[in-house]
Structure 1
Amino acid sequence: MSNNDPNGQPKYYVDQEHIEEMSRLLQQSHFLMKQFGGICPEHPSFEGVEHVLDIACGPGQWITEVARAHPHMQLIGFDISQRMIEFAQSKAARDNLKNVQFEVGDATKFPLRYANESFDLVNVSLVYAFMSRTLWPRLITECYRLLKPGGYLRLIQEDANIQTNSPALHEYHFLGCQALYREGAGYYTDQLGVIPRLPAMFKRAGFQILSTKHNLVDVSYGCEGYQMCYTDYKILLEAMKPFLVRWRVATQEEVDDCYRRLVREMRYGVSNEEGGFDPFVGLWDFYSIFGQKPVN
């Protein structure tokens, strides 16, 4: 899979057809729902919500949970990965969920295939890997078009700047942000810089912002989030190696060396000034913003 289409728009920076990537996304989605306090803690009653769209749904973990909890709703999830959609369809059929459908579609091709004012809730989660600087405002505006008056846009994002005592993990994040910036998917070379821009994008599109929340997840060694983070990063950062080399932020040898060091530091600890080792520390910031399209 190429990371760029012929028009130069960024695509996902790892191959989504790999089973390891699907497993990673399933685990991550389950963990985030737990950390945020449910499938939609911003509007837990889902009052007034009948039609839901999940953009770039991956293997469909979030929207499947919504469909199971609210069988009266009609839900659609779409993703560019055929394998992800086939998995989501199979899981929905196995669970006998009749109210959710999954489709293959590209979240960067506007306008999306759906009619104006088709949905009461649109969910967008962690799409920074393929959403360029130029496409972010268009995405928010497109969601406004798709929502009925009074409908909600829920967006979860991170900025790829985890706070950590691991020099190697910090270095890998920096390389990743440099590559994303060169691809056009980030605003800075040391972090994505998307989160600080989202409130203004929501307001310019016409949304009323109902809530924003930073969820700082402790993924340090010994904490509940550690194993998820360790497994997530071990899979994701291995798969990212070709992306970093392609954008010439490091050589293959440098990327391999950095990856080996970060896995070792996350697993066995970080060397300190006294010649010993401190346990790995990581604080992972996830941000949610919840907006409503005015009724009038």
Structure 2
Amino acid sequence: MSHTQSIPLRHGLLFFFEEDVNGHQDRATQPPILLPQVQEDSPSPASRGALYPFYTPSDPLVLDEQVLVSPAHPLEWRRRSQQARMLMQHFRVPLPEQPEGFPMKRILDLAIDPNGEWLRHLAARAPKAECIGLTSQEITARQTAFFAAVQGCHHVSTQICSLTRPLLFPAESMDLINGHFLHAILPEYAWPLLLEDCFRLLRPGGVLRLLECVQGKSTSAAAGTLCATYRQQMDRLRAAARPSAPGTQTIRSARPERLPIRMEKTGFVAIKQQESLLDFSARTPFHSTLREQADDFFQLLEPFCTPHACSRETYQQVYHEMQLELLEPTFRGYWHLCTTWGYKPSRHILRPIPSMHVEQPFPQVLYTCSLPCSLFIEQEETQAHGNEQRREMTTPAPTN
């Protein structure tokens, strides 16, 4: 039995994902192939206004200990540098959700961008705060230190440290811990350890702030095909690394939308979220920047996708189709950004009572359902009918 998924491209071209699920053994090792088929009189996706999945800065580039894209690759360096400058132009300030007079004496940036863009902007606005940036690349640390010195921010320092290991700082020594798109570089198993480490490092009342991209959408069907190829390959490797029971699927628990739940389990309180829409449609200020980032991203992922998901020729054909669609005047694209922050409990910000948590030993339907269950209604009617019969039997008959 085979499953076929199709995504229409411009000029009536369709690309199909075809995978044989219950095929013979000799076909089991063959990858799904993108088969181009021509359909006439098919309107373009842009004219229909359809939106397809698009690359996001939170797409994972690591799987356990396997690194899919090297951070030192020139294209990855350029992509992350452009991304950091674009975000600063989009938000205008390093901490748009925090009040202006938020007290900060020591700040930790968990994974600085290649030039330390966000950390240096924050240091310029907080000249009395000690700003520390972490990175796993020595060249990134030197580059950030150089630009900070040129900018005159002598209270900026960098340390080479992996986020998969404990952070070597004293407990309760930070006022603010920041992270941008950590889902792209942090393995799934390391998330609970990192959150617990951040909770340990923060002073009472300190803030953990995490920015992630929940989803990306665009009118480019070819970009949607490339995203489907990449995510299909990620699911295969994840399922192979963590085999589950027959008939079930391996569930990815580390997702950007699950951050509030993870932070609450760690102990953070007063957790809030702020959403933002970054528009990179045609004729917008960020269109050319996002077009270059998408080109770099899918070019970096070609060695990862082509050996198993499709042939190199097919991948290149869809890649060039995406480049053309991103240049169309009707192109539309969006990133749904979400900033999540929470506080370490203090005298002013208390930890909630455990019994108030959602996770209780009682079934959730007992306290969330607003309408009575039909079984309960039937039991109540039976009980009321029995009470009425007993009342009639015990009530003496009226005498004339």
Q: Normalised by the size of structure 1, how large is the TM-score?
A: 0.84
Q: 1:183 to 1:92 in 2, by over 3 A?
A: farther
Equivalent residue, structure 1, for 2:326: 266
CA distance in 1, matches of 2:182, 2:235: 15
Identity fraction in percent:
26
1:95 to 142, 145, 151: 151
Conserved? CA contact 1:218–1:225, under 8 Å: yes
* Pairs within 5 Å for 1:246-261: 248-261=308-321
Deviations 1:124-165 (A, max 9, x none): 101222222222232222211111111001101124x42121
Which among 175, 199, 203 is matched to residue 260 of structure 2? 199
Q: Please, which of 261, 264, 285 is the counterpart of residue 224 of structure 1? A: 285
Q: 1:107 to 1:140 in 2, by over 3 A?
A: same
Summarize the alignment of residues 44-193 of structure 1 with structure 2, pairs less than 5 Å apart.
44-45=99-100, 47-59=102-114, 60-109=116-165, 111-159=166-214, 161-182=215-236, 184=238
Question: Paired residue for 1:273?
Answer: none
Change (3 A) 1:148 1:178: farther
Note the aligned Cα RMSD (angstroms). Answer: 2.6
Normalised TM-score (structure 2):
0.64
Distance of 2:62 and 2:341 partners within structure 1: 30
1:205 to 1:4, Cα distance in 2 relative to 1, 3 A = closer
- Alignment partner, residue 214 of structure 1: 275
Q: Are 1:56 and 1:79, in contact at CA under 8 Å, matched by a contact in 2?
A: yes
Tell which deviates more after alignment, 195-204 or 129-138: 129-138
* Equivalent-residue separation in structure 1 for 2:260 and 2:179 (angstroms): 15
Conserved in 1, the CA contact under 8 Å of 2:84 and 2:113? no
Partners of 1:171 and 1:155 in 2: CA distance: 29
4+ aligned runs moved over 6 Å, structure 1:
none
Q: Distance in 1 between matches of 2:183 and 2:155?
A: 28
Q: Per-residue CA shift, 1:182-210, capped at 9, x if unaligned?
A: 4559xx99x99712211100110111134
Residue by residue over 1:61-114, the C-alpha shift from the partner in whole angstroms, topping out at 9 and shown as x without a partner, is 1001111221101011011122222211111122222101012211122x1222
Aligned residue type for 1:244: C
In structure 1, distance between residues paired with 2:344 and 2:253: 27
* Distance (whole Å) between structure 2 residues aligned to residue 167 and residue 39 of structure 1: 34
Q: Where does residue 95 of structure 2 map in the other structure?
A: 40
Q: Which of the two has higher C-alpha Rg? A: 2
Unmatched 5+ stretches in structure 1: 270-277
Q: 1:138 to 1:10 in 2, by over 3 A?
A: farther
User: Residues 85 and 250 from structure 1, CA distance in 2 versus in 1: closer, same or farther, beyond 3 angstroms?
Assistant: farther
Give the superposition deviation at 1:41: 0.9
Task: Figure out how many residues of one structure are paired with residues of the other and give that number.
Answer: 277
